[in-house]
Structure 1
Amino acid sequence: MQTHLKKRIEIVVEYPALRRLLERLDRSQVTGYTVVPALAGRGHDGLWSSEGLAGDAGRMMMVICITDPARLDPVLEEVYSVVARHIGIVTVSDVQVIRSDHF
C-alpha cells in the first residue's frame, strides 16, 4: 500500500491558551486536529501533575495535527505566536499516512 510523507505536530500548552491555539490552527487551514488532556509529566522545572487542581490555570492540553510538509512553516509561525507567551512545547516529526488527501 502506498503511503505519503506528512508532518505531525504535537503541541503541549496551558489550557487557557487552547482556544487561541485552535483558532490559529483553523486560520492556518489545518484540516484537523485532536485535543487530549495532559495529566502529568516531567518538564524543565521537574515533575508536574494536574491532580488536585481546582481551576484551569495549571491544566495542560496536547494538540496533535498532521499537515503537508510544504505548509509546515506557516503553521508553526501561528503556533509559536501562542506558545511563546505560555508554558508549552512543540515537536515536529515525520509520519506516513495512507490517505494523503485528508491533509
Structure 2
Amino acid sequence: MELHARKRIDIVLEAPVLKRLTDLLDRLDVTGYTVLPVLGGKGHHGVWSREGLPSSAGAMVSVTVITAEENLDAVLEPVFTLVKRHIGIVTVSDVTVLRSDRF
C-alpha cells in the first residue's frame, strides 16, 4: 500500500466565525474540511465548557483541513489572518494519507 505525506491544519475558533472561515476555505479551493463541535477545554484563560450556553455566541468549533505541503502557505496565511482577530488557535502537523488524490 502506498502512503502519501500531507499537512493537517487544525483550527479551533469561535462558532460565530465558522461561516467566514468556511467561505474563506472555499475561496482558497481547499478540497475539503471537517467541522466538529468543541464541547469544552482548558486554555490561556482557564477551563471553559459550552454546557448551558443559550446560543453559539460562546461556543467553539474545530475545523480540520488536510492539504499538500506545496499548498500549505497559501491556505495557512489567510486562515491565520482571520483567526488571529478572534479567540482560537491554529496548529499544523504532518499526516500520512492513503488516497492522495483527495488532498
| TM-score normalised to structure 2 length | 0.97
Secondary structure of the corresponding residue to residue 82 of structure 1? helix
Within-5 A mapping of 1:44-59? 44-59=44-59
Give a deviation string over 1:35-70, Cα, whole Å, max 9, x none.
Answer: 000000001111010001112110000001100000
Runs of 5+ consecutive residues of structure 2 not aligned to the other structure: none
Q: Is the 8 A contact 1:24 1:79 kept in 2?
A: yes
Instruction: State the one-letter code of the partner of 2:23.
Output: E
Confirm whether residue 93 of structure 1 aligns to residue 82 of structure 2.
no
How far does residue 81 in structure 1 lie from its aligned partner after superposition?
2.1
Q: Is the 8 A contact 1:25 1:78 kept in 2?
A: no
Runs of 5+ consecutive residues of structure 1 not aligned to the other structure: none
Partner of 1:36: 36
Secondary structure of the corresponding residue to residue 57 of structure 1? helix
Partner of 1:62: 62
Identity across matched positions, percent: 59
Q: Which moved more, 1:91-100 or 1:74-83?
A: 74-83
Number of matched pairs: 103
Distance 1:75 1:82 in 2: 11
Confirm whether residue 14 of structure 1 aligns to residue 14 of structure 2.
yes
Secondary structure of the corresponding residue to residue 17 of structure 1? helix
Distance 2:79 2:22 in 1: 9
Runs (4 or more) in structure 1 with deviation over 3 Å come to none
Q: CA RMSD in A?
A: 0.7
